[in-house]
Structures are given as C-alpha cells and as structure tokens.
Amino acid sequence: MASRKRSWSLRLAPRAKTWSVRIWLPHEGRTIELSTGERDPEKAHLRGAQLAAEQLAGKAPPPSPRSSTCERMSIVDAGAKWLEASSGRIGERTVGAYAQVINSHLAKTFESLLDVSHNSVRGYIDARLRVVQTPSVRHELSVLRQLTLWAAEQGLISEPPNVPGVPRGALGTAFERRRRVKADEYSPDEIRAFIAALPEQSLDGVFVVRARLELQYETALRSSTLDRLSVPEHWRPGERQLRLARMVLKSRRAYTLPLTDRAVEILTSLRVTSGLVFGWHDYTEYVRAAAEQAMPQDKAEKFAQIHLRSARATHLLEMGVPLGVVQQMLGHNRATTTDRYVRTSVRATEQALRKFGLRR
C-alpha cells in the first residue's frame, strides 16, 4: 500500500529568518501558510506539526507569542525600537527624519505593524498623493519598507509585507503656497490675547486646546515633541521639569527642561496620570480664529502654531534671559540656530533705551 503524502511542510520565510508551515487542507481543497514564530529548525518542526494537526482537526491555532506581541506594539513603538537599534549605523539627522515620518505620517494610517498590507499601503499612497508630491511619498514608503524588514528580522512579524511603490507617472500635489512663513514679531500682549481667545476644548470636546498651546508658549517646545509628551516617561505630577528623551526630539539629543511655574500649573491641571498628555490633534482652525481675534490682520494672516516658539525665544531674551539658556530651552545645538528664531522689534529697542536713560 502506497504511503500517503505528508500534508504539511516547512518553509523559511524570505529575509525574516523564521520558519513557516504550509498545510494542505483536503476538505477545503487549498493550502494555507502559518508562521511558527521559530528560528530554530527543530523547534519549528515541532510547532509546525502541532499547527498542522490543529488545522486538519478543524481547530484554529492560538496566536503565536510573536504575533500577539506585534498586535500590542504600535508602529510608533516599533519605530522607536528600530531607530534605537539603528542609531549606530545611521546619522542622528537621518534618525530624526525617519522618526518624523513614522510619528507624523505613518502612525496616522497604520496603528500597528499588522495593519501594513498591500491594500492598506495603496490607500496610504493615494491619500498622501493628494497632499504632497511624489518624492515625499517615495521617501515615506522607503522608511516603511526598512521598518517592516527590521521587524521581520526581529521576529515581530512572520515576513515583510508587500509595500508597493508609487504608480509610474504619478506627480502628487504641490502646495499652492508654503505651509509655513517666517514668524513675525509678536509682543507679549499679543500672545497673551491670542491664548485668551482660544477655546478650552475642541468643538467636539475630544481634546484640550488652550492648555496645549499655552504650554507650547511656556516651554518653547516643538509641536511634535508636545504631541508625544507622556506620563510618567517624561513628567510625573509634582515634578518641575521635563525629562525629554531622544526619540521625542528632532535634535535626537536628550535633555532635561526646567519648567516655569505656569507650565507646572498647566500640566497639573490636566490631571493625566498615565499615557499621552495631548496626543496628535489638528489645531489649525482654532489657531486661525484666535489669531484673527487677537492680532492685527497682517500678523494674523501669517501666524502659525509654531510661531509660539519664536515668540517665546524673543520674549525671554527681551527679559534678559541669557542666550545660552534660551538655546538650551529650544533644544538647539548651536546659538546661531537660536538666533534665527529671534525677532527684534522697535518696541523692545525703545524699552531698552528708556531702561538705560537714553530715551524719555
């Protein structure tokens, strides 16, 4: 009597270095492939036999430890681990650029690595081409491919998903004008009036507005840093400083930022005991409306959320805070970078002349 052909076989997943098992299901007339989650051939053989027996008996296999870990790990956390592991091979500037792509773009579409598939990436490409040009999308896809390949090599996923490229001939969408213009000079009174004009919460009540933007002025932090600010990783109730890690900063240089009394009051009032303090939200319409209410028209038309950073740097220097301290607050490596944020004004010059008795 001829022996029956074995109904399953092992396969080493391309580039992932983990074994998967191919199982023939005669009652369904098809072959399926499941990851064993193992790199060792002997362990993979035992796991493959178990999976095959369960499938042939009509039982669904339990999720492997690796896949359940991946389900719990967000793409932001996976990206942070990848960039931390890659920091010795790629420059700090590149690490910062990759982190910005992951946190500002990829994370808004793919919650975890398990959400990355051919179809989901196609949808991502179509959406991004409606707002940016093709080179930007190609760069983002390159980051996604590198991240998923690393995840597969680490066993977080069974094998890298198929990440398609941008369709040939696609141009994307160019902005009619620059999204950001150079900051104007804003007086302390104008900034205070702007903050007072902001609503406490968004129209749907989902996120805070005034506290978020006032804290940005008090700390002079970038929007991307505040989006990722977390308790207790970066701040605990009662503390008077922020412990800013490399992965939340554009400069990729960790540092401790002392807080003003008002900044501590704002953080305390939010009553966040764990997790993100703010998260990412779109404040554009609230910023525009408050600026139109609080500022002259020519300034309101230019004003953007990031200009709170420039205004804070200027006001601190006008108060007599040393340049080196302002440089540290802004997280700059060079004072020449901080100098580009400062906006001199006739108002500040007149105040200085009166202070030294040179003008009545």
- pLDDT tens digits, residue range 139-174? 999 999 999 989 888 878 877 888 889 988 888 887
**Predicted TM-score of the model (pTM):** 0.53
Confidence of residue 352 (pLDDT cuts 50, 70, 90): low
pLDDT score at 29: 66
Are 122 and 85 in contact, with CB atoms under 8 Å apart?
no
How many whole angstroms separate alpha carbon 120 and alpha carbon 123? 5
Answer yes or no: is pLDDT of 64 > 70: no
Tell me the per-residue pLDDT of 266-302, one tens digit each, with 9 for 90 and over: 999 999 998 889 988 888 899 999 999 999 998 998 8
* 72-153 matches 188-354 in fold: no
Answer yes or no: is pLDDT of 307 > 50: yes
Of the two residues 195 and 203, the one the predictor is more confident about is: 195
Q: Which of 75-79, 239-243, 252-256 has the weakest average pLDDT?
A: 252-256
pLDDT score at 239: 94
Measured CA distances, 273 to 214, 232, 234 (Å): 20, 7, 12
Measured CA distances, 98 to 11, 72, 106, 255 (Å): 33, 22, 10, 20
Record the tokens describing residue 335, joined without a space. 């004072």
Q: Could you write out the three-class secondary structure of the chain?
A: CCCCCCCEEEEECCCCCCEEEEEEECCCCEEEEEEEEECCHHHHHHHHHHHHHHHHCCCCCCCCHHHHHHHHCEHHHHHHHHHHHHCCCCCHHHHHHHHHHHHHCHHHCCCEHHHCCHHHHHHHHHHHHCCCEHHHHHHHHHHHHHHHHHHHHCCCCCCCCCCCCCCCCCCECCCCCCCCCCCCCCCHHHHHHHHHHCCCECCCCCCECHHHHHHHHHHCCCHHHHHCCEECCCCCCCCCEEEECHHHCCCCCCEEEECCHHHHHHHHHHCCCCEECCCCCCCHHHHHHHHHHHCCHHHHHHCCCCHHHHHHHHHHHHCCCCHHHHHHHHCCCCHHHHHCCCCCCHHHHHHHHHHCCCCC
Residue 73's φ and ψ, nearest 5 degrees, are -90, 120
How many whole angstroms separate alpha carbon 24 and alpha carbon 115? 27
Confidence of residue 1 (pLDDT cuts 50, 70, 90): very low
Measured CA distances, 240 to 45, 219, 235 (Å): 55, 12, 8
Q: Where are the domains of the chain?
A: 8-62, 72-153, 188-354
Question: If one looks up domain 188-354 in CATH, what number appears?
Answer: 1.10.443.10
End-to-end CA distance of the chain: 114
Confidence of residue 346 (pLDDT cuts 50, 70, 90): low
* Arithmetic mean of pLDDT over the chain: 81
Of the two residues 336 and 285, the one the predictor is more confident about is: 285
For domain 72-153, give the fold.
DNA polymerase; domain 1 (1.10.150)
Do strands 241-244 and 8-12 pair parallel, antiparallel, or not at all (unpaired)? Answer: unpaired
